[in-house]
Structure 1
Amino acid sequence: MKKRADDPHAKPKPSAYNKALGLLARREHSRKELRQKLDRSGYARDEASEALERLGTQHYQDDDRFAEALIRNRSGQGYGPMRLRAELKSHGLPDARIRSLLDAADIDWAQSAAAQLRRRYGAGGPVDPSERARRAQFLLRRGFAAATVRDVTHAEVDDAPDENP
């Protein structure tokens, strides 16, 4: 049963600050993401802005910390830098900051791409060009750069044992 607004037993709506703090207690959020959630929850624009400013001043919300956690998480899941860049951009981070955070992450993207191929297709290399193209498309969809994909898919073929001794 839905509670009515004039119900004396209804819980009062928390402040925008408390709502955002509760969201941050569960996981890191970007400033843009918190703003959208507060807007959808019906908070006044001024109250939401003040809450976000206060959370930033107190270092409870930090876009750099959010981005570092997202990069660590998604790269661990096998996603490439192009995918991470797009996701961080959708969270409102500027391009220059995204570039510096990805550089600071110190991830070997070729090694990560090769690991994704092994996980998905096993240790053997592709036997024909169509299979190589299928594997390249897989890596491109995961967000790896075309140059990395080319290097990894060709290296996989070059490193495969020869069938004719």
Structure 2
Amino acid sequence: MAAPQLSLKGRALRFLSMREHSRLELGRKLAKYAEEGDDVNALLDFLEQNNWLSQERFSESLIHRRGARYGNNRIVAELQQHGVKGEALAELKAGLADTEAARAAEVWQRKFGEVATDAAGRAKQMRFLLTRGFSQSAVRKAIKGSDDEFE
């Protein structure tokens, strides 16, 4: 016996029960299942009014998931892809900026553990952190901080 077809609202609640979604992302997922007469935007408005869909919770969740591995540039770019804009994005950037150097040092420590002695090795370590989305100043602080610890 086949399982009954979920309504659009049921699918939305199922997606939200698994993890937080942005409005843009959830709208894209639900559009695949929308039939004629279904209003996805009205459903998203209803979910936001009942606080089942929250851009703030989504942003905090994404930062929590990505913060331990990636830098501000990468996290902010992902937030922008999910439709986070304006003042909310500026506040999130400011909050991330406070911890970026410490997070870069943690990522560097897990990956390398000690500063390379040659210039090529040191450049490799810096490139690794830069590709993870950390700023140049955070990368310099992370590697210089590690120099102080090992001397």
Per the TM superposition, whether the score is higher than 0.5 is yes
Tell me the equivalent position of 1:137: 127
Q: Number of matched residues?
A: 151
Tell me the equivalent position of 1:4: none
Tell me the equivalent position of 2:140: 150
- Asked if structure 2 preserves the Cα contact closer than 8 Å seen for 1:32 and 1:91, the reply is yes
Tell me the equivalent position of 2:90: 99
The answer to which of 11-20 and 79-88 deviates more is 11-20
Q: CA RMSD in A?
A: 2.1
CA distance in 1, matches of 2:11, 2:36: 13
Provide structure 2 residue ranges, at least 5 long, that are not aligned to the other structure. Answer: none
CA distance in 2, matches of 1:94, 1:44: 31
Q: Which letter maps to 2:6?
A: P
1:90 has 2:64 as partner: no
TM (norm. structure 2) is 0.88
| Bigger CA radius of gyration | 1
1:38 has 2:25 as partner: no
- Percent identity among equivalent residues? 33
CA distance in 2, matches of 1:132, 1:95: 37
- Asked if structure 2 preserves the Cα contact closer than 8 Å seen for 1:79 and 1:144, the reply is yes
Compute the displacement of 1:106 (Å). 7.2
Q: Which letter maps to 2:127?
A: Q
Provide structure 1 residue ranges, at least 5 long, that are not aligned to the other structure. Answer: 1-8
Compute the displacement of 1:67 (Å). 0.3
Picking from 70, 81, 85, the partner of 2:62 is 70
